[in-house]
Amino acid sequence: MDIFCIRGGTPLHGRIALHGAKNAALPLLAATLATGARCELHDCPDISDVTAACAILRHLGCAVEQHGGIVAVDAGSACRSDIPAELMRKMRAAVLFLGPLLARFGTAELSLPGGCVLGARPIDLHLRGLRRMGAEITLDGEHISARTDGLHGCTVALPLPSVGATENLILAALGCRGTLTLCNAAREPEIADLQCYLRKLGADISGAGTSTVTVGGFRPRPFVEHTIMPDRIVAATILCAAAACGGEVELQDVDPAHFSTVLDSLSEAGCAIITAASAVRLTSDGQLTAPRPVVTQPYPGFPTDAQPPLMAACLRAKGTTVFTENIFTNRYRHAEEFRRLGAAVSIEGRVAYVTGVERLTGAPLTASDLRGGAALVIAGLLAQGTAYIGRREYIDRGYEDIVRDLRALGARIKG
């Protein structure tokens, strides 16, 4: 089915394990290209963005096999450095192949990436950093043409801690002479996971997870295995659903420290939360109170990707929750859909005010981006009657099988 059909009103109970993180898997897949190695990634989510990354690797000449959560890539046979527009359009993370292509071949022909529309998403910081490392890059309309006679070490200070620019520059540095020092780097856990993988591949990299990352040399190893870190945003989504619907849910194989700001908000809203080293249990009576204002920030602040799911959880919370979205300029499109269910949400620039209502009523809704789409699913679970969520392909980009997971917890959802 192309749509999800949800009959709301049931509490969620049970325990589920999470798949590996999309936003860790995509840079790791791009990293495989930078080497001639054979790599095996475990817990790789079976989502359309991973399929798109594998299609790019195949196009470039790599041998790729996907089966049961394992993606095996043999990058030794990579033989071309161009990526056609139809592959670039599939996702934003396609731009992460630019750094590895320059590192491996010294040349790249590609186009601007697609991805969820969340406002302007320029790649100027990627290009500026690569130019500083010695790449000549021209941008002609949508087309990017890049070449270098050899990247060199230098210091790059990012004006803002862009996740993608941090990753792209780290990946390009695998092919550079000398040491790259990256200042004001993004500190997301997915970047620490990338460092862990690159060290296994033979890179001399340190500092990931802090604001200063250095990459100073690379002696490729022939075969590497890596288990991708669990998806902290999928974890946050499931917990927001359980908080809103009521019930008791336990997530296993997670690192609660990776989404502690989300746990803080859910706890302020009235949920009881118990964390262990790699598990979290949330209990909720479904009668939430508005948490303190939620302000999205680069990690370790509140993640922008968890803003839509938390907003959905607050639609019936007592009082008014105030959200400030600081990362993207247009990440409230889900709010318009929430109103169709009877929610009281108003937007003023970067700020959204959500006043809890007694009752939401099912209606046909349309997803327009990945996390906003997941938030519509949560809102549908809260509504009385039946909600339909169209354009589920957005949700499939980042959630392996949200229907399977929610049904396992007792939700009445089909799709």
CB-wise, 62 or 123, nearer to ligand EPU?
Answer: 123
Cα(219)–Cα(111) distance, rounded to whole angstroms? Answer: 30
Based on the number of CB atoms within 10 Å of its own CB, is 187 exposed (0-12), middle (13-18) or buried (19 or more)? Answer: buried
CB of 398 to ligand EPU, least distance (A): 5
Least distance between ligand EPU and beta carbon 122 (Å): 4
Query: Of 134 and 309, which has the nearer Cβ to ligand EPU?
Result: 309
Is residue 388 a contact partner of residue 3, using CB atoms and an 8 Å limit? yes
CA distance 324 to 347: 10
Asked if residues 125 and 160 have their Cβ atoms less than 8 Å apart, the reply is: yes
Query: Which tokens go with 116?
Result: 């969820």
CB of residue 231 to ligand EPU, shortest distance in Å = 9
Residue 284 or 304 having the CB closest to ligand EPU: 304
Q: How far is CA 372 from CA 130, 191, 308, 366, in A?
A: 32, 24, 5, 10
Closest contact distance (angstroms) between CB of 372 and ligand EPU is 9
Of 186 and 341, CB closest to ligand EPU: 186
Chain residues in the site for ligand EPU (CB under 6 A): 22-23, 26, 92-93, 116, 120-126, 160, 162-165, 186, 304-305, 327-328, 370-371, 398
Nearer to ligand EPU, 309 or 362 (CB): 309
Compare residues 74 and 305 and give the one whose CB is closer to ligand EPU. Answer: 305
DSSP one-letter string for 49-111: HHHHHHHHHHHTT-EEEEETTEEEEEGGG----B--HHHHTT-GGGGGGHHHHHHHHSEEEEE
Angle at 149 between CA 146 and CA 151, to 5 degrees: 80
Residue 262, Cα to own-chain centre: how many angstroms? Answer: 15
Report the relative pairing of strands 272-276 and 223-227 from DSSP bridges.
unpaired
Q: Say if CB 114 and CB 94 are below 8 A apart.
A: yes
Q: Is 62 a catalytic residue?
A: no
Selected catalytic residue, list 39, 44, 62, 116: 116
For β-strands 351-355 and 344-348, DSSP reports them as antiparallel
CB of 292 to ligand EPU, least distance (A): 21
Q: Using CA atoms, how far apart are residues 151 and 178, in angstroms rounded to an integer? A: 9
Q: Which is nearer to ligand EPU, 74 or 369 (CB)?
A: 369
Nearest distance, CB of residue 57 and ligand EPU, angstroms:
16
Q: What is the dihedral of CA 27, 30, 34, 39, to 10 degrees?
A: 90
Minimum separation from the CB atom of position 165 to ligand EPU (A): 5
Annotated catalytic sites, by residue?
116
